[in-house]
Amino acid sequence: MPDTGIPREAIGATAERSLVVNEEHSAVRWGSGGIEVLSTPQMIAMMEESAVDALRPYLPPEQQTVGIHLDVAHLAATPMGGQVTARATLLEIDGRKAIFRVEAYDAAGTIGEGTHQRFLIDVERFMNKARERLTQ
């Protein structure tokens, strides 16, 4: 099946991912700093996972999306033991490109926000091209 576009009815789709911050989510573990707080890479991963989850019901099994752009600010630190939730909301579709608003928050409020773009791909074709890169 060709990757012709993301269905228009997906606009407005939202998904969330939550976690309680522990050592595996910390800046120390991710190598993004020496402080025991939620790392920026972990927050970004949660935002991307939320975007994937938001689109999943609208895509056939042979199609997926890949992240192509992320513009995010990490605004506040969440210490160990704090619960964090990331949310992605599909704002716009431009052919095979999906544009999301992403945000993350803890009990005290917003800790991160920005935009994320994903691109619709046919998994088999995408993987063939990826493998070809290593043989050139």
The amino acid occupying position 59 is L
Report the pLDDT value the prediction gives residue 5, as an integer from 0 to 100.
80
Q: Which of 14, 16, 36, 40 is catalytic?
A: 40
The amino acid occupying position 108 is A
Active site residue 36: no
Q: Which of 48, 65, 103, 116 is catalytic?
A: 48
- Domains in the chain, CATH or no CATH each: 8-135 (3.10.129.10)
Report the pLDDT value the prediction gives residue 116, as an integer from 0 to 100.
98
Residues lower than pLDDT 70 in the chain: 1-4
pTM as predicted: 0.92
Length reported for the chain: 136
CB neighbours of 48 closer than 8 A, spacing ≥ 6? 67, 70, 88, 116
Q: Which of 74, 78, 103, 116 is catalytic?
A: 74
What would the two tokens of residue 10 be?
């997906």
Active site residue 48: yes
Active site residue 14: no
What would the two tokens of residue 104 be?
């993350």
C-alpha dihedral, 59 to 60 to 66 to 71, nearest 10°: 0
Report the pLDDT value the prediction gives residue 84, as an integer from 0 to 100.
98
Under 8 Å between Cβ of 99 and 91: yes
